[in-house]
Structure 1
Amino acid sequence: MSMSGPTPHDDALASYQASFSEARGFLNFASYGPPSHAVRQRVTHLMELAADGGSGTNDTLYGETVRARESFARLSGFPVGNVGLTGSTSLGLFQVAFGLTGGSVLVSAGEFPANTYPWLRSRAAGRARVELVGGPGTRMTPDVVARSLTPDTVAVSVSAVDFRTGYRADLAGIRAVIGADRLLVVDGIQAFGVADLDWTQADVLVVGAQKWIRAGWGAAALALSPQGMERIEPLLTGWTGVTDSGRYDGEEHPPLPGAGRFSLSNLSPYATGAFAEALALIETVGVPVIEGVVAAQAQALGDHLDAAGVPVLSPRNRPEAAGIVVAGIPGRAAEAHAALADAGITATLHGEDRLRLSVHATTRSAAFSEAAAVLATFA
């Protein structure tokens, strides 16, 4: 009888998991993801290089932007020339919103504010208008989108995973109902790195580094389809987003041909270095493997909450579920949140009735029973 040993996937996953050391009770990845040892070491190395100021330091520091773009391109499926970097998801969405003119953009009124304010400000500036649909908790399903489209709709902006409910959007279904002529703008910050999605359904994909990618703050990727590149003007761009940016002749230079045209200025090499390192770590194990573990972790947490009599308000079936598990604590969520903190468990309070818990591939399963035991007293 033959004995099967660890597979390469098992070894890669074990190595990935060993790269992190967050507290056992950390259930807050939808807020931010604690970086890996590799990310911390890379940032320290880059800081030491900058402190020494040796020959070639600038090339190394700003070369981190290239590493991050190349890794993001491989993980997202976009050509590297169509991938640029910006400072945050919010900034990227502002650049997209101000780059559209004419027509209206369909957005859920229940979106995280980072995906509503850019469109509101763009409307106020006389650019594209915004049509807000539904309210908190609205799921942007293909049916909801289809019913809300008008002949004036030029784009639809959605989150790949909803921050409030954990609902995973059907990007292919939305793409099908809006057709090829409208732009699909996707905020991927609550999904990229842990959800194996076809990101190329989007005409614009904006992803900050600090949540599930686990790279900290200060960098985000902005990827565009050929149609997105053609129709979104680089209105909010800067001197690093133009040709011959090192030629200081007092003239306005034309935008760069690729997604680099949306660059405002040089980003912190520590932020881009952290981004590049975190993306490279994801590549060592692969998103499908990480997604499988996250799904199992979320299911296990939901099962513990079920057993404790705590209502689970987030999706439970795999196609719609992500790593977010929402517990319903009517009228006592703030008390429950404080009790979790006292027990060493980190989660997010959402109003008076809901707590958001979110798991990653590195989450310790012991935290599930501990969280459920605390919340059982409030259910």
Structure 2
Amino acid sequence: MDWTALRDEFAAVTGRWAFLDHAAVAPLPRCAAAALHQYAQSLAENGVAAFRIWFDRVEQVRILAAQLLHAPSPEDICFIPNTTWGINLIAEGFPWQAGDNVVLAAEEYPANQYPWLNLAPRGVEVRRVPSRGARLLLEDLYAACDSRTRVLSISSVEFASGFRNDLAALGEFCQKRGIFFFVDAIQSLGAFPLDVQALPIDALAADGHKWLLGPEGAGIAYIRREKLEMLHPLGVGAFSVVRPWEFSRIDFTLKPHAGRYEGGAYNMAGITAFGASLQMLLQAGIERIAERILELTDYLCEQAQRRGWTVFSSRLEKEKSGIVSLIHPVWPAREVVRRCRERGVVVNARAERVRVSPHAYNTRDEIDRFLDAATP
């Protein structure tokens, strides 16, 4: 596939950087930046007089998000300000009893640990399962579960190692045992396909500022309709109810879908720009994007090893992702990041290793540019 059109969307950043850090905060494509400008101009010129246009746009973006996740209905999607918020919807809304436990990976990003650790005053135990090297083994997660396990919370891709978890196997395990299965999908949505109808995922959340190439503060959550009533709704407000526009009528009948979590004003600017990025990705094809990302990361690993680097990430076919964790033969990770930034290359450091995360618009030349910048 010719990736020229997609790369053209990032002319602003590629003219300055070899940007290989999409696991952090990605640059906005031209279409998203234009959408932000369009919204700001409309708001400046019209204020509330243009609100119907922008509310309609929110619903259009909701449809795109449902297409991304293969959700049964757009109503199963709600907009959230960040992944942390989505995790807390489950952590704080779940019907816990003292003595219950939640199982997660010990190396999870803090946003997928602190909301669960915050449940300690309610008598909920957090069981943190360590990885074995770069790999988080299914049998270790299974062994941590017992009759009091109520939730298994996992990232689709681990942020530091790049390990891609087997969501199908984990979901099936949870489904058979009545365990609520939650997925932090921020490190895979936009880079790899995810089908919530094919996978027994009960809920997921992801902000849009990484692989989805949107702005910070505009993300999505999915909650399986059958699980909705077991959760105590949080953040309820005027738009959580079935008659949201009847401001003088108080009728606390919640929407029978994920929309009940959208209590207040929307981040119209963020959702608008996020929608532009999402439409661009869907048009390119998520399956093709995944193939391209794996092609680039395979090339990166091959060339890095030739130069004496150690590839920490698992590169087994079903475990590799868009994140590659590397160990430099000489320098510590922070020194590599510093030297690269001075030479116009953006990578990052996590867990004392160099983290490289190219997207589909990147090129092999940019991979070479990174390796050259990190050569003593």
- Segment of structure 1 superposing worse, 222-231 or 80-89: 222-231
Superposition RMSD on alpha carbons, in Å? 2.1
How far apart in 2 are the matches of 1:328 and 1:193? Answer: 26
The equivalent of 1:199 in structure 2 is 196
TM-score after normalising by structure 2: 0.91
Query: Which residue of 2 is the match for residue 343 of structure 1?
Result: 343
Q: Structure 1 length normalisation: TM-score?
A: 0.90
**Is the contact made by 1:137 and 1:164 (CA closer than 8 Å) also made in structure 2?**
no
| Deviation digits for residues 293-329 of structure 1 (CA, Å, limit 9, x no counterpart) | 1110111111121111111111223311111111113
Aligned position for 2:31: 38
Aligned letter for 1:20? F
User: Is 2:240–2:261's contact at 8 Å kept on the other side of the alignment?
Assistant: yes
Counterpart of 2:44, as a letter, is A
Please identify, of 29-38 and 326-335, the stretch whose mean Cα deviation from structure 2 is larger: 326-335
Answering whether residue 167 of structure 2 is matched by residue 171 of structure 1, we say yes
Tell me the distance in 2 between the aligned counterparts of 1:82 and 1:338: 43
Distance 2:27 2:190 in 1: 14
Distance 2:288 2:78 in 1: 26
Corresponding residue for residue 7 of structure 1: none
Q: Tell whether 2:151 aligns with 1:155.
A: yes
Q: Structure 1 138/362 Cα, relative in aligned 2: closer, same or farther at 3 Å?
A: closer
Give me the whole-angstrom Cα distance separating, in 2, the residues matched to 1:28 and 1:261. 34
Residue in 2 that maps onto 1:18: 8
C-alpha separation in 1, matches of 2:47 and 2:345:
44
Amino acid at match of 1:57: A
1:119 matched to 2:116? The reply is yes
Stretches of structure 1 lacking an aligned partner (at least 5 in a row): 1-9
SS at match of 1:91: helix
8 Å Cα contact 2:181/2:203 also seen in 1: yes
- TM-superposed CA distance for 1:74, in Å, is 0.8
Which position in structure 2 is the counterpart of 1:100? 94
Percent identity between the two aligned chains = 23
2-structure distance, mates of 1:109, 1:339: 31
Matching residue of 1:365: 364
| Counterpart residue number, 2:185 | 188
Residues 134, 314 of structure 2: 8 Å contact kept: no
Aligned to 2:287: 288
| Alpha-carbon distance in 1 for matches of 2:261, 2:133 | 32
Structure 1 residue 84 and structure 2 residue 78: aligned? yes
User: Which deviations, in whole Å up to 9, do the C-alpha atoms of 1:100-143 show, x marking residues without a partner?
Assistant: 1223221122100111111122333x275432222696744322
Give me the whole-angstrom Cα distance separating, in 1, the residues matched to 2:317 and 2:273: 30
Q: List alignment gaps of at least 5 residues for structure 2.
A: none
Q: Deviations over 1:127-169 (max 9, x none)?
A: 7543222269674432222111110011110000000100111
| Equivalent position amino acid for 1:60 in 2 | I
> 2:142 corresponds to which residue?
146
Q: Which amino acid aligns with 1:203?
A: D
Contact 1:101 1:127 in 2 (8 A): no
Q: Which deviates more, 147-156 or 312-321?
A: 312-321
Q: Which moved more, 1:131-140 or 1:32-41?
A: 131-140
Corresponding position of 1:48:
41
Deviations, residues 165-215 of structure 1 (Å, cap 9, x unaligned): 001110001112223421110011000011123334211011111000101
Equivalent-residue separation in structure 2 for 1:45 and 1:375 (angstroms): 40
Counterpart contact for 1:110–1:138, Cα < 8 Å:
no
Whether the 8 Å contact between 1:308 and 1:373 is mirrored in structure 2 is: no
- Larger deviation: 48-57 or 295-304? 48-57
Aligned residues: 365
Pick closer, same or farther for the CA change 1:127–1:217 going to 2, 3 Å: farther
Matched residue SS, 1:57: helix
